[in-house]
Amino acid sequence: MSWMQEFAADLLNDFNNCELPLTRALLMCDQSYFIALRDAVQDLASGLTGEKRITEIHTITAASYEKMRNSSSSTELAIWRRMYTDSSIVKALIEVAISASAQAISTLDYAIIVAGATGEGRLDLIHRLVKKIQFAFWPGPCQAVAPSGSISTLSSVHILSTAKHAIPEISTPPSLLSFQSENSRHPFILRNYADKWPAMTNHPWRSSRYLRAVAGPGRVVPVEVGNNYLADDWKQVIMKWDDFLSSLELEDQPLPCRSDEVLYLAQHDLFMQFPTLRGDIVIPDYAFASLSYTDHSCYRPPGNDDHILLNAWLGPKATVSPAHTDPYHNLYVQLVGRKTVWLAPPSVSQHMSRHRNTDQVMEENAAKTMTSNTSDADVLSDGSCKSSFPTFWSQVVPTAMSATLKPGDLLFFPAGWWHAMRSEDTSFSMSIWF
């Protein structure tokens, strides 16, 4: 029995066990869809290619996506995510069988990106399947080698005129008890906190070769195109990881030819997609702190099992996140390049000039649905727009603070704080929401 038949046989066992919650969920979607998937898997387990069923399975995947977009409840959404995930896995197996291996990996990445690989054991199955396909069709993947130095970040950064204060720095990491009782009430920076993380040392995220090696060939990722998500020309695309990396200046990769398009991998759980990267970081104990107070009335911890959300932010110099608030506490770690950060407390919200189309933008961009507010004020500017936002300059600027993060620095700020970011170099950051 081939490895493809073994994967198909495992799926068939699941589909034939109606006691499994996953199987019951698939049956709740649409019984005809379930039967079509089961028949396709039966063909694959028997050694057939399943090619005659590829159009039907593609239709099920597309229909599941539309059902996800139009779900009226979290339960309905979860059910259709499961159907999308399983139909994507079946579609990928058929694509492997008909020698469309690159398309198969893309299909599996979509299951992670679009549906979160929903279903017990499905994410692990997808990771194993991706590795099998890569090994079978691209033997001898590139090896990750640590560069000898680091990206230069010596040039100075202009101090923001929109903030009268520097973000406080703490010289020694506070104890968990001190963080819970005192330090977590206000933003602070721990310089060089992550200097010894593998992402900074022997598994360097500043290396394009390493970033390609941990993913392997054929992978795709969601990328924002445009100056920021409020721009008229902003959009999201899914593109090849290799092509996206080729657009960046990294330590072992010279500055590419400049494009008119700004590409930014923003607020994406890259660690779910490329789990090797998860071993390159260390989640600070602060993320597991019990914070009994909150200055943010709408605060609720993330709803997943460990109450932590990880997101990656990778892009070229000058990528910008406009001033906005998030509903979670944030441990923000800078790992490659520098990033200028602007912060202001929740108490100034009435003077932040809420963007008139924020609700529409958030409806159109599922990746941003947790952004509770966005401002029209360009807080990263040199102050040329004072006449447009007079109360911002009189009420917000005196309380705002800013700083530039360097590789290895950790920034903490509580839920509900306004924040904006600008990359001063090619920048790779991660946020830990809790």
Q: What is the pLDDT of residues 66-93, one digit of tens each?
A: 999 999 999 899 999 999 999 999 999 9
Whether residues 302 and 423 share a domain: the answer is yes
Q: Is there a domain that residue 148 lies in?
A: no
Name beta bridge partners: 344: 418
Range of weakest confidence among 108-122, 226-240, 297-311, 366-380: 366-380
Are 323 and 262 within one domain? yes
Q: Is residue 93 part of a domain?
A: yes
Q: Which residues pair with 237 in a beta bridge?
A: 223
Q: What is the CATH number of the domain that holds 237?
A: 2.60.120.650
pLDDT for 293 beyond 80: no
Instruction: Name which residue leads in pLDDT, 377 or 129.
Output: 129
Distance linking the first and last C-alpha atoms of the chain: 45
pLDDT band at 328; cut points 50, 70, 90: very high
Per-residue pLDDT tens over the stretch 387-430: 778 899 999 999 999 999 999 999 999 999 999 999 999 999 99
Does 341 reside within a domain?
yes
What are the start-end ranges of the H helices in 147-248? 176-181, 208-215, 241-246
The answer to whether residues 317 and 185 belong to one domain is yes
For the residues 353-374, what does the mean pLDDT come to? 52
Residue 354 included in any domain: yes
Listed in sequence order, the residues at least 6 apart from 364 whose beta carbon sits closer than 8 Å to its beta carbon are none
Domain identity same for 131 and 175: no
Q: How many residues does the chain have?
A: 434
- Any domain includes 145: no
What integer best gives the mean pLDDT of the chain? 89
CA distance 377 to 353: 7
Token pair listed for 78: 């979860």
Say whether both 356 and 243 belong to one domain. yes
Q: What is the DSSP letter of 394?
A: I
Q: Which residue has the higher pLDDT, 238 or 357?
A: 238
Q: Which domain holds residue 44?
A: 3-137
Number of domains the chain contains: 2
Q: Are residues 225 and 361 in the same domain?
A: yes
pTM for the complete prediction? 0.89
Q: Are residues 373 and 260 in the same domain?
A: yes
Domain co-membership, 130 together with 278:
no
Q: What pLDDT score was predicted for residue 144?
A: 53
Residue 150, domain member (yes or no): no
Alpha helices by DSSP H, listed for 304-381, are 358-364
Residue 142 included in any domain: no
d(CA 195, CA 301): 28
Residue 160 belongs to some domain of the structure = no
Nearest alpha-carbon partner for 134 in 242, 209, 217:
217
